[in-house]
Structure 1
């Protein structure tokens, strides 16, 4: 198997990002790869004696990461120098700004071909907005930098869900839902599953928006006027998609067994079943980018960060998925 170079952003250093990165990389079950951490060595200097005392830090410079690191070594690229002290559980402007700089550097390296994939540790969106106006999430922020049309997909334990709309208020969803946007999401999921997950003929299910799929228009006409036309056009293009299907019966095992991914109109409609099914072991994948990008399925967990009890399972799956996405069909088989 090829050992791809992964740019791993440290997330908000006051959260559990550095801890789950270190635990995942120090695990004997780590999938073969060459991880490069973007951020700052300070969080790991504090964690190493308590989590991985036989590991050391190697500060890296430049853009060439082709030389393998020695065993038990964290390769860290410093992207900023905050003035304030780092306190686990208490985010601060300087360290949050560094988290954003780590994302920027990861995108630059991936776009230039210096790394093969990006894995992002959790950030606190509100902490980044003073430095990136309107910041609503990794997905949208990274896609804007490379002028891509992203699709947010989460996957875990055999279930994949993708979103037509992402981080917007629930009351804004009907107005944001269009045939064009739905069709673009269907196309993006189909293309992404073919390109990155090596599925030759992806099978997609599209969830309805309204109760009982609108009940022939009685409970809303979005299914008739927006979703069904998108499905019809996608099927005319050769995409295997079925829907819209009432959401209250969509996630039953019999239907999921016939699908490679489920597409939902809004955030919680997709993420509630996904996290009930695979919380802590699911991964967030951004489709539509020119490079793989993954992340854990949870947030910064500032409340438990000082206790050093974070579960690295989702970060481990994010790393594993990023590696898999860089492989050829033969290597990933």
Structure 2
């Protein structure tokens, strides 16, 4: 295998991440090679629960047969019971993420794919944790943007997990300039789009309707778009969010910038939740995550859909190959 080498971090060991990784090991890949950063006992338990073969290899050995999985070991502090997160294992979860990030930044790996984590359990384990995106951004010292993507649309977010009443105050010139620059550069370098077209949604209904439904478009969003257009970016908007996602309009956009979480993501998830992935733009390496949670109620039962993890690996492999080709 001569393609990109990707670190695969299952996430919360009591969730569905380990069994999804076991499913990935059942078919050889031609687009990349994978190394799991994980606890071997948990992966074996997941394989047993699924009734699937699993052959754990040294991280430098290539996978050749169904069930082969090269591994860098991160033993959990306590034995895992699927469906029941244990705060004592928080250190292994975060340690695997940070070690994978170090390996990517050192050039030993070309990208990282991550499974879902249980934020509350990590905090209960004594580690202050707001999310994997924030963890990796702080570790790399990077300005990052969250983008969700599937086969239909890519949606970047100006703000992420904010109460709705705080969103308008957060949308300022500095934020929008930073987010649009990071998104534009990532579309060029990670997705191979030389001159990306980005649709920018308005904050208010009807994109403010010339100031009658809010002034943020006139006072903030339009001046930013004009400024960045003068620097060569191809930006469309601000557009009313209720019509921007019509198929005939989406056909002309490479990405859509939504002002807040629930402005853009319901459309994306409706159009293809199973194949949706979460991409962290702005890191010095590609990082792609599944777009679902730990699904503790399904863990260990063989019921979890691997489609999002499969899409995350494929997306990360393409982005890593694109960077290698530059």
What is the TM-score when the length of structure 2 is the normalising length? 0.94
The counterpart of 1:268, out of the listed 262, 266, 273, is 262
Bigger drift between 323-332 and 84-93 goes to 323-332
Could you give the per-residue CA deviations for residues 144-191 of structure 1, whole angstroms, max 9, x where no partner exists? Answer: 111100011111013100001112222221111111111111111111
The counterpart of 1:75, out of the listed 67, 70, 82, is 70
Taking the TM superposition and a 5 Å limit, the aligned residue runs for 1:210-249 are: 210-249=204-243
Could you give the per-residue CA deviations for residues 193-232 of structure 1, whole angstroms, max 9, x where no partner exists? Answer: 1001111110110011111111222222111111111111
Q: Could you say which residue in structure 2 is the equivalent of 1:12?
A: 12
Is 1:89 equivalent to 2:80 in the alignment? no
Taking the TM superposition and a 5 Å limit, the aligned residue runs for 1:1-333 are: 2-27=2-27, 30-51=29-50, 53-60=52-59, 65=60, 67-71=61-65, 72-82=67-77, 84-130=78-124, 131-133=126-128, 135-328=129-322
Structure 2 segments unaligned to the other structure (5+ residues): none
- Cα distance, 1:306 vs structure 2: 3.3
Q: Following TM superposition, where does structure 1 have runs of at least 4 consecutive aligned residues deviating by more than 6 angstroms?
A: 329-332
Report the secondary structure of 1:243's partner residue. strand
- Cα distance, 1:47 vs structure 2: 2.2
Count of residue pairs brought into register by the alignment = 324
Q: Matched residues in 2 for 1:87 and 1:329: separation?
A: 39
* Cα distance change on mapping 1:181 and 1:301 into 2, 3 Å: same
Q: Matched residues in 2 for 1:80 and 1:153: separation?
A: 31
- Cα distance, 1:129 vs structure 2: 2.6
* Cα distance change on mapping 1:31 and 1:52 into 2, 3 Å: farther
- Cα distance, 1:321 vs structure 2: 0.7
Report the secondary structure of 1:307's partner residue. coil
- Cα distance, 1:253 vs structure 2: 1.0
Report the secondary structure of 1:77's partner residue. strand
* Cα distance change on mapping 1:80 and 1:51 into 2, 3 Å: closer
Q: Matched residues in 1 for 2:197 and 2:324: separation?
A: 21
Q: Matched residues in 2 for 1:151 and 1:322: separation?
A: 16
Q: Matched residues in 2 for 1:258 and 1:140: separation?
A: 31
> Superposition RMSD on alpha carbons, in Å?
1.9
* Cα distance change on mapping 1:144 and 1:18 into 2, 3 Å: same
Q: Matched residues in 2 for 1:271 and 1:319: separation?
A: 21
* Cα distance change on mapping 1:59 and 1:169 into 2, 3 Å: farther
* Cα distance change on mapping 1:16 and 1:330 into 2, 3 Å: closer
Report the secondary structure of 1:327's partner residue. helix
Q: In the alignment, is the contact (CA less than 8 A) between 1:79 and 1:105 conserved in 2?
A: no
Q: Matched residues in 1 for 2:199 and 2:241: separation?
A: 10
Report the secondary structure of 1:219's partner residue. coil
Q: Matched residues in 2 for 1:38 and 1:137: separation?
A: 18
What is the TM-score when the length of structure 1 is the normalising length? 0.92
